[in-house]
Structure 1
């Protein structure tokens, strides 16, 4: 009997810790959603990633990213001060960016202006040619070189066939400039060449060096994209780890607030479960039912779909609180006057407990009402701290333990 009672007390405590842990997680969700912490954390990570204010502002405001609700086109000209002001705005509700999407937008921002700048002098030299077949042919060859990286030898031949030395020299000078900027990449991958040129145009030396180091020796746009994705993922993983640690501190704080607000004192709770067989059995039965409840298991293990709205998150937290309060545990607070007759009756009885030991009665915390107030305080504080630490272990830990003990 004693062994069974001990197991039931343990099951009861674990079940209460599980419910409180779920409630803390749900309250954290409400806090995170209310303060938009995930989006702010993502924005902070993007600021660490993209140290150039202009590049950062254009990426954050890009329609495919949408972390800042401000219209800035990739080829818009903005000053660093304007960029800082734009990037300093509060973020939208975007909490995650796909790596492929980030790389695509970064490429877009880096190459959209350089795509034209790289070939601008070449197009101007072509515009100076007289109207005719040669002009059309050279323009098409330049367009093919710009878009596909093809036709460079043919372009050289077409320019050399020109009879006007001035036009020929202007075109060769412009083409030499393109080749010098793009290097061997121009032939192998014009898209990568344009991106590398865009990197050279970045004002931030830190970001420029970072991207150059990442893309060093890269000769293929697919390989470059893969390296940029790895860079992004590494930063986001570090960001996620730091955010998780931050949430753990939130959990400790919320757990302490719950322990105090609901007066969930582990020591008092264990004593009540031990002394009250009916309560012990009711809580054990509820715990066994919980292990067979797939929805509660999903909530505990974090496999449940996240709430889509703030109201849904609040409703989930309220539901968990109702489940906890429905167990009729000796938690919460009361204010009950204690008379000398109540104390005398308790001392004369073998059944009644001393009303000054009632951990729910706020009046017992006052030294004038309770001669043993110091020990009472110390015991309550210890009980609250144990509850707080237990809650911080998380619902998956407690539900795993509960499943093992109940044999599920």
Structure 2
């Protein structure tokens, strides 16, 4: 019974050491992830999802939408750079994207081709600039930049010319309506002229939002550029929402906008989701909501894969950290078992700390609590220069004795490294089970659960 109790206590003590080392590695891993913004994988995932690698299109518009901007840190403080959220709900994503696609669809009804041409000219100009930057002074590249800039200007002028005509027509309609305020035909003509101005204004604002997004992508630390992109997009969406009730087929309107998106997997996927929605829901008035739910499902499934990317990265980093921490602390499993088997007092103190950790951490494992429980312990880890210490570091030598020591040392360290990579939650759960098993096995009348002292 005593032998079995000692073995169980050794197991609890070793697991507790694994738990502490895992917590240290987890804290380091989280620090590294925060330092390099690795949790920004969400942004990368959405950029990939919406086929916007340069963050100047749909993905950038999504993050500038009020539903997403509202959960971004410092979004309301123009003096600080906005930090994009590391989490986004499927509902927020689908509602924001649906609003943007609806606006693009409304614009597409009249000026979608012109807007698409202008956006394509934007992309061509940026590509020409990037190519020219690679080989400065190349006459062909410089000429390509000039041609792309001319095409961009022409696309913009085409939209502005329509806007100017719409303003003139509206002014004439207003004057005509004033001369005969009871003439319903003139009143209707004035409303249609106003509608025309708002429609072309929405297209121009959407183009301005894209220009601002490109400028912001080039200078991500410039807060003013990001705020300009945000404000311009909101104006474009506001114009478009005013006309939303005029379209009897919202999903058809969205489909028209999708047809003018850049070619790629996003356009293809969204068009497939439109077709899927039409098959699932025949009532036109319910199709927009059904499409939103399909967008939400699409997002959630994609984010599961993005979570997998982060998990695989975490596992690789955790393995490296575990190797560094275990080797640096000389947390050799073979040595731990040997020392804990012989030192009853040390074993008892670690088991007591393990029990306290399990009791105080019934709901979740915390680095602070576990490390606090161990701060007064003399853990059997660390390298020593004392030849009589079990943690002694033997200088390399050509001998069978050193070879045997090195083999067991590497074997013990390797076991510890693999154990630590299992993570703190795993070892906390395992520790809880072992502690509960020991508690259940305490003989009746025994008040202390610490290891028996020598001589009992």
User: How would you bin the TM-score normalised by the shorter chain?
Assistant: 0.5 to 0.7
SS at match of 1:298: coil
Matching residue of 2:271? 212
**1:381 equivalent in alignment to 2:410:** yes
Deviation at 1:32, TM superposition (A): 1.3
Q: Distance in 2 between matches of 1:385 and 1:325?
A: 25
- Residue 185 of structure 2 is matched in structure 1 by 134
Task: Please say if 1:326 is aligned against 2:376.
Answer: yes
Q: CA deviation at 1:390?
A: 1.2
Q: 1:293/1:205 Cα in 2 relative to 1: closer, same or farther (>3 Å)? A: closer
More divergent stretch after superposition (380-389 vs 248-257): 248-257
Judging changes above 3 Å, is the alpha-carbon distance between structure 1 residues 234 and 24 closer, same or farther for their aligned structure 2 residues?
Answer: same
Q: Using the alignment, how far apart are the partners of 1:3 and 1:140 within structure 2? A: 90
Is contact 1:64–1:101 with CA below 8 Å preserved after alignment? yes
Partner of 1:293: 360
Partner of 2:391: 360
Whether 1:108 aligns to 2:111 is no
Paired position in structure 1 for 2:262: 203
Quote how far apart the aligned CAs of 1:135 are: 3.4
Aligned 8 A contact 2:353 2:373 in 1: no
Q: 1:31 & 1:118 partners in 2: Cα distance?
A: 48
Other-structure match for 1:194: 253
- Give CA-to-partner distance per residue, 1:82-106, whole Å, 9 cap, x none: xxxxxxxx99352111222222332
Task: Give the match's secondary structure for 1:24.
Answer: helix
The whole-number CA distance in structure 2 between the counterparts of 1:68 and 1:405 is 43
Report what 1:405 is aligned to: 434
Contact 2:247 2:253 in 1 (8 A): no
Q: Distance in 2 between matches of 1:194 and 1:359?
A: 76
Change in 2 beyond 3 A, CA 1:35/1:373: same
State the secondary structure of the residue aligned to 2:397: coil
SS in structure 2 at match of 1:94: coil
Is the counterpart of residue 233 in structure 1 residue 307 in structure 2? Answer: no
User: Aligned residue for 1:7?
Assistant: 8
Q: Secondary structure at the match of 2:365?
A: helix
The answer for the alignment partner of 2:151 in structure 1 is none
Report deviation, 1:359.
4.3
Pick closer, same or farther for the CA change 1:46–1:272 going to 2, 3 Å. same
- Number of equivalenced pairs: 313
Aligned residues: CA RMSD: 3.7
Say if 1:24 and 1:251, in contact at 8 Å, map to a contact too: yes
Q: CA deviation at 1:299?
A: 1.8
CA 1:393–1:117: 2 relative to 1, 3 Å: closer
Mapped to 2, the partners of 1:117 and 1:289 lie a distance apart of 65
DSSP 3-state at the match of 2:385: coil
| Equivalent position of 1:36 in the other structure | 37
Is contact 1:252–1:392 with CA below 8 Å preserved after alignment? yes
CA distance in 1, matches of 2:359, 2:3: 26
Q: Is there any run of 5+ residues in structure 2 with no aligned partner, and where? A: 76-80, 112-161, 178-182, 199-243, 279-283, 440-456
Corresponding residue for residue 248 of structure 1: 315
Aligned to 2:119: none
Superposed, which structure 2 residues align to 1:341-360 within 5 Å?
Answer: 355=388, 358-360=389-391
Q: What does the per-residue CA deviation read over 1:374-396, in whole Å, with 9 as the maximum and x for residues that have no partner?
A: 11111111111111111122223
Matches within 5 A, 1:137-216: 137=188, 189-216=248-275
C-alpha distance in structure 1 between counterparts of 2:248 and 2:378, whole Å:
71
How high is the TM-score relative to the length of structure 2? 0.60
CA distance in 2, matches of 1:143, 1:35: 50
C-alpha distance after superposition, 1:181-240 (max 9, x if no partner)? xxxx99884433332222112122432211100111434110010011111111001111
In the superposition, the TM-score normalised over structure 1's length comes to: 0.66
